[in-house]
Amino acid sequence: MDNDVFDQFIEQLQRYVRERLIPAEKAIIEADAIPDDILAEMRDMGLFGLTMPEEYGGAGMNIAQYVRTIRELSYAMPCYRSITSINIGMVCSALKRGGTDAQKAEWLPRLAAGEIASFGLTEPGSGSDSAAMQTSAVKSGNGWVLNGTKRYITNAPFANVALIMARTNKEALPKNAHVSAFIVPMDTPGITVGKSDKKMGQAGSHIADIIMEDVKLPADALLGAEGGGFVMAMQSLDNGRLSVGAAAAGYARRALDSALRYANERKAFGEPIANFQLIQQMLAESEIEIYAAECMLEDACRRADAGENVLRKAAAAKVFATEMCGRVVDRVVQIYGGAGYLAEYDAERFFRDARIYRIYEGTTQILQLQIAKHMLREWAAQA
């Protein structure tokens, strides 16, 4: 997207977030759902097709523009990003990287128009451990038969399509070559979606199990080469991790703005608590860390757009931004004091909403191991 056009889009998005999305948050919390009229507006704004190429009906944003957009959108409550991010982050990325011309022509316009996608990797007994994956895809005639269960799948209750990872070899092969990726329409016979899980926070965003029992798929449901699914998933997760990092940075900014406003309004000992130095310390530390996260995200995106392998840097940015967000929302509760523990005030919700960022798209601990593994591998290659 042209930079001038993008700047205009960001200005429009910032107004939309503050004038439309934030005022709707109370109703979303009560209903645990985004209203249909807001979803229609988000589709009209092109928020489901940010990264899709223009020839498929998308905006054609590069990674830096996409991540900046997510950061601005995530100033509002997390469900707005959640409903769009699987489309524009992981599934679009996988289709662009591994899809045939026919697959791109079939699915990218539909996703850009606002059909909702899910990404099925995690299972009851496996997440990052692909060797423990139980979902299987067995060749049958000219197609495949899928069996298994995926757990904690974002958007599953209302998804139109899912990108499902399944093992196409019973043995755990080197480089996870036993895992393949499949494009699975959610209305395919044999698919059942479980009840939406009750969560700590993130109202309006839904996760559920996807259960597959003898799900018959055509041969062209396979995305990319057989055995290439896990690599494709991990490459797509680079975008997903940058998106989660951006969401954390955007929400931390919202929480800090809320604390700044409260500190200036709340009085103690006859003056605003914003005048107290230890309150100022918490405000300043939060500003410093948000700025650092924003810089990390911008650097990782710049490198990704330049064609660099950013697996390690995307992981680092995600870890720092999400851990930072956790620290910021904790300080915000502290600044609010007793009010911060009450559901009547925003600080309590910020605290609950932010906790998941350190878990999904790779926990902090898994990503730390991944970063260290790549550091050690590079050191060994140079030794």
**CA-closest candidate to residue 201, choices 93, 64, 358:** 358
Count of CB atoms within 10 A of residue 360's CB? 16
Taking CA atoms, 355 is separated from 25, 162, 288, 320, in Å, by: 19, 25, 20, 14
Calculated CA dihedral for residues 230, 234, 235, 240, nearest 10 degrees:
140
- CA pair distance 201, 349, nearest whole angstrom: 7
Query: Active-site residue among 323, 344, 361, 378?
Result: 361
- CA pair distance 364, 323, nearest whole angstrom: 8
**Is 72 labeled as catalytic in the residue annotation?**
no
Phi first, then psi: what are they for 126, rounded to 5°? -155, 150
Residue 2 buriedness (CB in 10 A; 0-12 / 13-18 / 19+):
exposed
Hey, what are 207's tokens? 């996760």
The residues, any chain, with a CB within 8 Å of residue 158's CB and separated by 6 or more, are: 116, 206
Burial 312-334 (b: 16+ CB within 10 A, else e): bbbbbbbbbbbbbbbebbbbbbe
Cβ 251 vs Cβ 352: under 8 Å: no
Provide the residue type at 285 as one letter: E
3-state SS assignment for residue 71: helix
The residues, any chain, with a CB within 8 Å of residue 369's CB and separated by 6 or more, are: none
Q: Catalytic residues, which ones?
A: 361
